Amino acid sequence: MKAIELNRLSKRYGKHQAVSDLTFSVEEGEVYGFIGPNGAGKSTTIRTLLNFIYPTSGSAKIFGKDIITDTKEIKQEVGYLPSEAHYYENMKVRELLNYSASFYKKSPAKKKIEDLSERLELDLSKRFEDLSFGNRKKVGIVQALLHEPRILIMDEPTGGLDPLMQHTFFDLLLEEKKKGVTIFFSSHILSEVQKMCNRVAIIKEGRLIANDTIENLTKNQFKNVTILLEEGQSLNLGLEGIIQQEQIGQTLSILFRGDTHALIHALSQQSYRDLVIEEPSLDEIFMHFYQTEPNGGAEQ
C-alpha cells in the first residue's frame, strides 16, 4: 500500500504559486526525503498533507485516505514534527506530552514518555518558557513518536539539534523504520538525507524536478571526473554528456552524465598525470539541478 500519494497537488496563494502539480508517491515502510531550498514549497506541501491548508487543485491520500475528508482518521496514524515547535509557554513538558497523548485512541505507556525523554536528555519538569529552541524540538520529537504512529511526517527535523542529539535522533528513526514506520521528511541538509533515505524528491519553485532512489541519482547517472594535468596543459574531451567543466590550476573537474565507456575511451586518448572518477554526492547533484537546468531536466 502507498503511504502517501500525491496527485497533481497544487497550492496557490493569491498570485504566488507555492506548489504546482506535484505528483509522487511514498511506499509504506520507506524513508523518503523531500529536498529543496528555502521557499521551494516543502512546508506548504507538508501543511497541505496535514490539512492545515487546503489545496487549490489536485488531491492527495495518506494510507489510501483522502487528506481533506479523512484528515481526522489520518492523524491517528501520523506523527508530525514541525520545523519550529511552538507550545504553550505556561505548560510543563510533562503536562504537554500528556495533553498530546490524550487526543489519541492508543494511550501510550507512561514509561514511553520517560524512556524517550531520557534518551533525548529532556527535562520533563521544565516549563516551555524556560526551554531553548533545541529543547523544544526534542519535545516535538517525543510528541511525534509517542502514540506509535504508522507514518512520521517531519519538516526540517534536525534544525536546532546539536550533532550528538542528531545522532540519537537518527537512531530513534532507524528503530522506527525497523518497526515498519514510513518516514517522510523535508530537508535542505543533504548529507542527512543521503544517510537516511531510500528515495528522494527534489522540488524547485513548487515543481518536482527529480524523484528517484539515491542510488539512481548518484550512481547511474553522474560521475565526478577529476583530472590532474601536466603543467601548462589544457584539455578538452569534447565529449557528449559533459555537464560542467571547470579548470583550476592543473586540476580539471568534470561532472559527467552519459556512457562511461565513451568517457574511458576518450580519456585513454589523452595524457595526464592522474585521474579520479567517483560518484558525486547528493549535494553536487542537487546543485546541478538547481544551477544548470532551470526547466528541471531529470530524465523521466
Partner 1 sequence: MIFRQEFKWNLRGLLIWSIILGGLVFLMMQIYPDFAKQQENLEALMEAYPEGIKKAFNMDQISLGTVLGFYAVEGYMLITLIGSIYVVLLAGNIVAKEESENTIEFLLSKPISRTAMLTQKILLLMVNIILFNVLVSLINLAAFMIVDDGSFKFLPFLLMSIAPILLHFTFASIAFFLSTLLKKGRQILSVTVGLVFITYFLQVISSVSDQLEVLKYFSPFEYVDPADIIVNETLNGLYILFTTGIILICTVAAFFYYKRKDIAV
- List interacting residues with partner 1 (CB under 8 A): 44, 47, 50-54, 71-73, 75-76, 78, 80, 82, 84, 86-90, 99-100, 102-105, 143
Tell me the closest approach of the beta carbon of residue 280 to partner 1, in angstroms. 35
Tell me the closest approach of the beta carbon of residue 103 to partner 1, in angstroms. 4
List the grid coordinates of 138.
Answer: 526534542
- What is the rounded CA–CA span in Å between residue 31 and residue 74? 19
DSSP strand pairing (78-81 vs 65-66): unpaired
Q: Which is nearer to partner 1, 88 or 133 (CB)?
A: 88
Tell me the closest approach of the beta carbon of residue 67 to partner 1, in angstroms. 12
**In a 3-state reduction of DSSP, which class is residue 273?**
coil
Tell me the closest approach of the beta carbon of residue 246 to partner 1, in angstroms. 41
Q: Which is nearer to partner 1, 186 or 211 (CB)?
A: 186
Q: Which is nearer to partner 1, 152 or 225 (CB)?
A: 152
Residue 51's identity, in one-letter code, is N
Tell me the closest approach of the beta carbon of residue 59 to partner 1, in angstroms. 16
Provide the CB-side half-sphere exposure for 135 (13 A, CA): 15
**In a 3-state reduction of DSSP, which class is residue 285?**
helix
Torsion sign (Cα): 90, 165, 84, 152 = negative
Tell me the closest approach of the beta carbon of residue 88 to partner 1, in angstroms. 6
- What is the rounded CA–CA span in Å between residue 203 and residue 210? 7
Q: Which is nearer to partner 1, 102 or 269 (CB)?
A: 102
User: Which helix H or strand E contains 18, and what residues bound it?
Assistant: strand 16-27
Tell me the closest approach of the beta carbon of residue 78 to partner 1, in angstroms. 7
Q: Which is nearer to partner 1, 45 or 211 (CB)?
A: 45
Q: Which is nearer to partner 1, 68 or 275 (CB)?
A: 68
Q: Which is nearer to partner 1, 84 or 215 (CB)?
A: 84
Tell me the closest approach of the beta carbon of residue 76 to partner 1, in angstroms. 5
Provide the CB-side half-sphere exposure for 26 (13 A, CA): 30
Q: Which is nearer to partner 1, 62 or 254 (CB)?
A: 62
Q: Which of 270, 234, 268, 271 is nearest to 251 (CA)?
A: 234
Alpha-helix runs per DSSP H in the chain = 42-49, 71-77, 93-101, 110-119, 133-145, 163-178, 190-196, 214-215, 260-268, 282-292
| Residues constituting the chain | 300
